[in-house]
Structure formats: structure tokens, C-alpha cells
């Protein structure tokens, strides 16, 4: 194929891509504006019921469910959970063992929770009977950052097995967190974890976030997390 022709093809593909991206951006803006309205409605419901709400975020497998299962057992507050997953009810079933109300949202492939989904879940809960509501988001450090659910605070769980540079790779998520839980610290030695580097990376992205070093599995450091939950 002559050189000029090849060039033309790539240019036309590029312009088409730009045009389509423009459309995607517009649709996204519309979705986020709508989400914000639902989020404010949720926030008003939480306030009226006197329930504090924590949006819990992480990559898949960082330990959100284990963290919440222990928290629900040990924290002397009336708590409930809304848990989002792409598919299955496994996490909800694990959390229900703590004897608290749990609503599972199966997103059917959507990789984040939206405020409207949470609003539907709230219809199935007696908010007045709760002091605290955890929203366990879908395991994903990218788009959940853009969706306000009406929460009071965001907790990002960052497992030490994920590598010290996670905050630098997903700055948007880490920037919006009030608390960062460095989880699985009991495995630090086994995986050669560089604690100093990880703490520095969190601070570089979000100097205001409270950083808690915990092991949800062994219970190490969990008291500081409970203090955070009770102190807000």
C-alpha cells in the first residue's frame, strides 16, 4: 500500500475517534449531573434519619468485606450495609452473618454504584433504626470515584499486596478519601512491603487523609478505625 494512503486512513480514524469521544463526554456529564441530584436526595434522607454513611472503596480483593464483617461484629453501633457487586450475593451473605441488615445490589456488569441504585436499596432498610450505614462499593478504583452516593465520608481500602504506588496510579480515588486503610499489614514481611514509600505516596496525593494501618483478618489496628467511625 502506498505510504500516503496509510496516513489518510489513520487520520480519518483519529478524527472519528475524537468526534465519538466528544459524544461520550457529553453523555457522561449528563449521567453525573443526574447522579448528583440523586446523591443530594440520599444525603437528605440520611440526615433526616440521623444515620452516618461511609462509602467503602477499593480494588477487588483488597479486603472490604472482611473489614466490614469484623467491624460489624466488634463495633457497638447499630449498623447496616448496602453492598454492590457485579454479580453474586456472596458478600451480602457473609455480612448478614453479623446479624445486621444487608442489602445486596447486583449491578449486572456496571462497575460502580450510582446514587439512584443506592436510593432503591434504601427503600429496603429502616434507616431510623441505624446509627451507621456502610456502602461497600463495587471493587474498582476508577469510576466509583466520580459517583457521589450521598455519603458523609469515603474510606479507601488499600491492600499492601497491591504495591506501594497504588495511590499514584489512582490519584482521583485517593484524593476523595477522608480515610485510607492500609490493609493486610500482617503480610508486610512476607511480601517485602515498603511501608514508608506507601505512606509517602498516600500523603503526596492526599495530605489530609487519615491513614490507618490495619489487618482486617487478625484485628490488628482496628481500634483506630472504630475511633474514626465513632468520632465523626
Q: What are the residues binding Zn ion (CB under 5 A)?
A: 111-112, 143
Q: Which residues contact 91 (CB under 8 A, 6 or more apart)?
A: 65, 83, 85, 104, 136
Residue placing its CB nearer to Zn ion in the complex, 143 or 188 = 143
Residue placing its CB nearer to Zn ion in the complex, 143 or 153 = 143
Residue nearest to Mg ion (CB): 65
Least distance in Å: CB of 99 to Zn ion? 31
Least distance in Å: CB of 129 to Mg ion? 24
Residue 64 binding: pick among Zn ion, Mg ion, none (C-beta 5-8 Å cut-off by kind): Mg ion
With residues binned 3-state (H G I as helix, E B as strand, rest as coil), the percentages for the chain, rounded to 5, are 50, 15, 30
Q: Is 58 an interacting residue with respect to Mg ion (CB under 5 A)?
A: no
Q: Which of 54, 91, 134, 178 binds Mg ion (CB under 5 A)?
A: 91
Residue 65 binding: pick among Zn ion, Mg ion, none (C-beta 5-8 Å cut-off by kind): Mg ion
Least distance in Å: CB of 111 to Zn ion? 3
What phi and psi, each to the nearest 5 degrees, are found at residue 219?
95, -5
Q: Is 164 an interacting residue with respect to Mg ion (CB under 5 A)?
A: no
Q: Is 64 an interacting residue with respect to Mg ion (CB under 5 A)?
A: yes
**Cell digits of residue 60:** 477487588
Least distance in Å: CB of 168 to Zn ion? 21
Least distance in Å: CB of 187 to Zn ion? 28
Q: What number of chain residues touch Mg ion (CB under 5 A)? A: 3
Beta-bridge partner residues of 26: none
* Cα distances (Å, whole numbers) of residue 24 to 18, 31, 33, 119, 170: 10, 11, 14, 25, 21
Q: 480515588: which residue's cell?
A: 173
Least distance in Å: CB of 113 to Zn ion? 9
Q: Is 148 an interacting residue with respect to Mg ion (CB under 5 A)?
A: no
Q: Is 154 helix (H, G, I), strand (E, B) or coil?
A: strand
Residue 91 binding: pick among Zn ion, Mg ion, none (C-beta 5-8 Å cut-off by kind): Mg ion
What phi and psi, each to the nearest 5 degrees, are found at residue 84?
-105, 135
- Number of C-beta neighbours around residue 176 at 10 A: 18
- Whether 72 and 79 have beta carbons less than 8 Å apart is answered as yes
Q: Is 67 left (phi over 0), alpha (psi -120 to 50) or beta?
A: alpha
Residue placing its CB nearer to Zn ion in the complex, 111 or 119 = 111
Q: Which of 42, 65, 104, 201 binds Mg ion (CB under 5 A)?
A: 65
Which residues of this chain interact with Mg ion, rule CB under 5 A?
A: 64-65, 91
Amino acid at each position: 500500500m502506498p505510504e500516503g494512503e496509510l496516513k489518510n486512513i489513520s487520520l480519518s480514524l483519529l478524527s472519528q475517534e475524537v468526534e465519538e469521544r466528544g459524544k461520550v463526554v457529553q453523555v457522561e456529564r449528563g449521567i453525573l449531573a443526574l447522579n448528583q441530584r440523586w446523591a443530594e436526595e440520599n444525603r437528605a434522607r440520611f440526615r433526616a434519619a440521623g444515620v452516618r454513611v461511609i462509602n467503602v472503596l477499593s480494588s477487588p480483593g483488597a479486603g472490604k468485606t472482611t473489614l466490614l464483617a469484623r467491624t460489624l461484629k466488634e463495633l457497638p453501633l447499630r449498623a447496616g450495609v448496602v453492598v454492590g457487586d457485579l454479580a453474586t450475593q456472596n458478600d451480602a451473605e457473609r455480612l448478614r452473618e453479623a446479624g445486621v441488615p444487608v442489602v445486596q445490589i447486583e449491578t449486572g456488569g456496571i462497575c460502580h454504584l450510582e446514587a439512584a441504585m443506592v436510593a432503591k436499596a434504601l427503600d429496603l432498610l429502616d434507616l431510623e433504626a441505624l446509627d451507621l450505614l456502610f456502602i461497600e462499593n463495587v471493587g474498582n478504583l476508577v469510576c466509583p470515584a466520580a459517583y457521589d452516593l450521598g455519603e458523609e465520608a469515603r474510606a479507601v481500602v488499600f491492600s499492601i499486596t497491591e504495591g506501594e504506588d497504588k495511590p499514584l496510579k489512582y490519584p482521583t480515588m485517593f484524593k476523595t478519601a477522608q480515610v485510607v486503610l492500609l490493609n493486610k499489614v500482617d503480610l508486610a514481611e512476607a511480601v517485602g512491603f515498603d511501608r514508608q514509600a506507601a505512606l509517602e505516596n498516600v500523603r503526596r496525593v492526599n495530605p489530609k487523609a487519615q491513614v490507618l494501618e490495619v489487618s482486617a483478618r487478625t484485628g490488628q489496628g482496628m481500634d483506630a478505625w472504630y475511633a474514626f467511625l465513632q468520632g465523626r
